[in-house]
Amino acid sequence: DAGVTQSPTHLIKTRGQHVTLRCSPISGHKSVSWYQQVLGQGPQFIFQYYEKEERGRGNFPDRFSARQFPNYSSELNVNALLLGDSALYLCASSLVRGVWGEPLNLNEKLFFGSGTQLSVL
Amino acid sequence: GESVGLHLPTLSVQEGDNSIINCAYSNSASDYFIWYKQESGKGPQFIIDIRSNMDKRQGQRVTVLLNKTVKHLSLQIAATQPGDSAVYFCAERLYGNNRLAFGKGNQVVVIP
């Protein structure tokens, strides 16, 4: 079975440009989350989408946006790139959404892709 | 902001020995904790999870311990193997939402 797939694997952009990153979740998974991982740090939550709607947003500027398509794949868009946007962008999928306080659902487990390494010059 | 941190940046362990990775968290309302392993060039890989109503959970060669009194999480790896060399992250699910907050990571180096 294919895991979470992301494209492209590597990308080089210059400041001010726009970038679109793509993610295909595991087949049957309806929830997709995006994380940013700066070198030497843990991943930072950006967005979660579930059933094509935004269900959560991290502390990122409006330059960051995302969407989820009917087939549950997702795109992350970043406008007006800054040098500080250089990072590994990770997509993760889960079968269900998973919310604090609700009974543990084994289908909440997040499965990560290998990420897109974005370099902004 | 980040509420999860790790005590040691790098752990060197002899092959065959047991490893212990520690993690401190500050959000007492978090209800779910996960350990991930990340190898170079790959995304985080799920290792084991634990709910806040438990204090111990075992998997294959791994054990997670949760001490809510001191807000401490640990991962024990038995009979460490060269393939265990990686960066290990603890993560918590924050109160009131569905996102994970990750710590900074702890590099484990297995010496053959």
Higher-confidence residue of B94 and B110: namely B110
Cβ-in-10-Å burial (0-12, 13-18, 19+) of A95 comes to: middle
Q: What is the pLDDT of residue A65?
A: 97
pLDDT of A114 above 80: yes
Among B34, B43, B99, select the one facing A113 at the smallest CB separation. B43
> What does the pLDDT look like over B14-53, one tens digit per residue?
999 999 999 998 788 888 899 999 998 899 999 999 988 8
Chain B residues lying within 8 Å of A93, measured CB to CB: none
Question: Per-residue pLDDT averaged across A20-28, rounded?
Answer: 96
Question: Per-residue pLDDT averaged across A94-119, rounded?
Answer: 74
How many CB atoms are located within 10 Å of the residue B66 CB?
Answer: 20
Q: DSSP secondary structure string, B40-64? A: TTS--EEEEEEETT-SEEE-SSEEE
The size of the A-B interface in CB pairs under 8 A is: 68
Which of B97, B104, B106 is the best mutation test for A, with the most CBs of A within 10 A?
B97
Chain B residues lying within 8 Å of A4, measured CB to CB: 43
A99–B97 C-beta distance less than 8 A: yes
Chain A residues lying within 8 Å of B36, measured CB to CB: 112
Place B6 in a pLDDT band, splitting at 50, 70 and 90.
Answer: very low
Residue pair B109/B85 in contact (Cβ under 8 Å)? The answer is yes
Q: Which amino acid is at B94?
A: L
Could you give the CA distance from residue B81 to residue A1 in angstroms, rounded to a whole number? 27
B44 lies within 8 A of chain A by CB: yes
Q: What is the pLDDT of residue B2?
A: 40
